[in-house]
């Protein structure tokens, strides 16, 4: 497995991983109609906008490739988007194809984001995740503490989203 900074050429593969991971992770959590509206093209368009805005937004994405050079996961980091007083960095997205989960790749992607945040003098980070997402156990296992929660709407239903925070991200890569 190889980890590297994502490039514009990776957008189609990132979009595929994003949609496929949502389909498997959120089946049974989100309404089926929400998952049915996901398409590679919509995801690609969204990622093209993200990459276009990235240079001025202190946002960065890393990809994980298998030995064949296929992207199997990715993570994005950004300056915290809501002006939180404690957490200055944000793990904006992290997705891994189901067949490659539980192999330590997610931990390496989080480390890459934490290292990049540290390079721009950010020492704290949070991630927002649906409360029913099995990834909550992953964030707890790597030291994340529940620090906030809020209600969000998806497909006409209300869900709880929780924030896991790290007040010293050097523990993630040190």
pLDDT tens digits, one per residue of 70-124:
999 999 999 888 888 899 999 999 999 988 888 889 999 999 999 999 999 999 9
DSSP 88-117: -EEEEEEEE-GGGTTSSHHHHHHHHHHHHH
Q: Please give the tally of structural domains in the chain.
A: 1
Q: Between the CA of residue 9 and those of 12, 35, 64, 101, what are the distances in Å?
A: 7, 25, 14, 24
Q: Cα(130)–Cα(81) distance, rounded to whole angstroms?
A: 17
> What CATH number has the domain bearing residue 84?
3.40.630.30
Q: What are the pLDDT digits (tens) for 127-159? A: 999 999 988 999 999 999 999 999 988 877 899
Tell whether the model's pLDDT for residue 58 goes beyond 90: no
Q: Which residue has the higher pLDDT, 37 or 169?
A: 169
Residues 6+ apart with CB under 8 A from 96: 17, 21, 64, 72, 73, 105, 106, 109
Using CB atoms within 10 A of its CB, is residue 151 exposed (0-12), middle (13-18) or buried (19+)?
exposed
pLDDT reported for residue 7: 92
Give the domain range for residue 130: 2-173
């Amino acid at each position: 497995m190889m980890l590297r900074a994502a490039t514009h050429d990776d957008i189609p593969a990132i979009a595929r991983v994003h949609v496929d991971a949502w389909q498997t992770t959120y089946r049974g959590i989100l309404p089926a109609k929400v998952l049915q509206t996901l398409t590679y093209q919509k995801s690609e368009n969204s990622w093209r906008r993200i990459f276009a805005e990235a240079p001025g937004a202190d946002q960065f994405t890393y990809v994980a490739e298998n030995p064949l050079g296929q992207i199997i996961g990715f993570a994005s980091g950004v300056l915290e988007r809501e002006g939180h007083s404690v957490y200055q960095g944000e793990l904006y997205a992290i997705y891994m194809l189901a067949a490659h989960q539980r192999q330590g790749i997610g931990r390496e992607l989080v480390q890459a984001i934490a290292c990049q945040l540290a390079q721009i003098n950010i020492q704290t980070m949070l991630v927002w995740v649906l409360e029913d997402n099995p990834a909550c156990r992953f964030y707890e296992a790597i030291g994340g503490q529940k620090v906030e929660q809020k209600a969000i709407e998806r497909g006409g239903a209300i869900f709880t989203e929780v924030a896991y925070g790290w007040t010293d991200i050097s523990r993630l890569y040190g």
